[in-house]
Amino acid sequence: MVSFMQLWKNAISIFVCLLTTACAQSPAFVVRSASIDAGTLAARLEWHPDARVLEALDHGIALGFDVEVQAQGRASWSGRVTLAEQTRHLQLRFFPLSRQYQLRDLDRDQARSFSSRALALAALEDLRLALPEWKVAGVERYRLRIALDRETLPGALRLPALLQPAWRLCKGEYAWPARTG
């Protein structure tokens, strides 16, 4: 009987998830500003993660982030041409023994440790990433996209991450003109 009850609960949960997925919600990531200066990307973000995401972080589940920066050219009927792009992978992780949160640049193998989650999140929101020098002409604007990388989540969490908005909406986007940036 318990199994059947559980089955119903799960079924209802899936149904609710699907239903909530269909409903529009505001994204958890908001990019307030961004600029590229001397080969360094500086972005001010706001991330309001769901409690379930934070709970996962505190339970040792590493959160991966994809930071995609694009240099785009003139707009045409098929959209803007991407002249150059760079994708960086960040990871936020909690270490229970040392009670440290670590923000790691996986591409450069650089890590910063924080004694509290707030500091770690603040570090993430004040994002600074060294970018390779782009020698391309005709760049009109830059675009920054940051999103939670659900593929790095544990297998068991992938299905809820696919269905639950708390995980689905962890992404933000920002574009700015090349001259003023």
Interacting residues with another protein (CB under 8 A): 2-4, 6-7, 10, 13-14, 55-56, 59-61, 95-100, 102, 111-115, 119, 123, 150-160, 162
- Compute the least distance from the CB of residue 16 to another protein, in Å: 12
Q: Which of 129, 169, 125 is nearest to 147 (CA)?
A: 169
- Compute the least distance from the CB of residue 24 to another protein, in Å: 19
Tokens 């934070």 belong to which residue? Answer: 54
What does the alpha-carbon distance between residue 165 and residue 147 come to, in Å, rounded to a whole number? 13
Between 37 and 109, name the residue whose CB sits nearer to another protein: 109
Q: Torsions phi, psi of 78, nearest 5? A: -100, 10
What does the alpha-carbon distance between residue 102 and residue 111 come to, in Å, rounded to a whole number? 6
Between 84 and 119, name the residue whose CB sits nearer to another protein: 119
Are 130 and 107 within 8 A, CB to CB?
A: no
Between 94 and 174, name the residue whose CB sits nearer to another protein: 94
Between 38 and 137, name the residue whose CB sits nearer to another protein: 38
- Compute the least distance from the CB of residue 126 to another protein, in Å: 9
- Compute the least distance from the CB of residue 151 to another protein, in Å: 3
- CB count within 10 Å of CB 103 equals 22
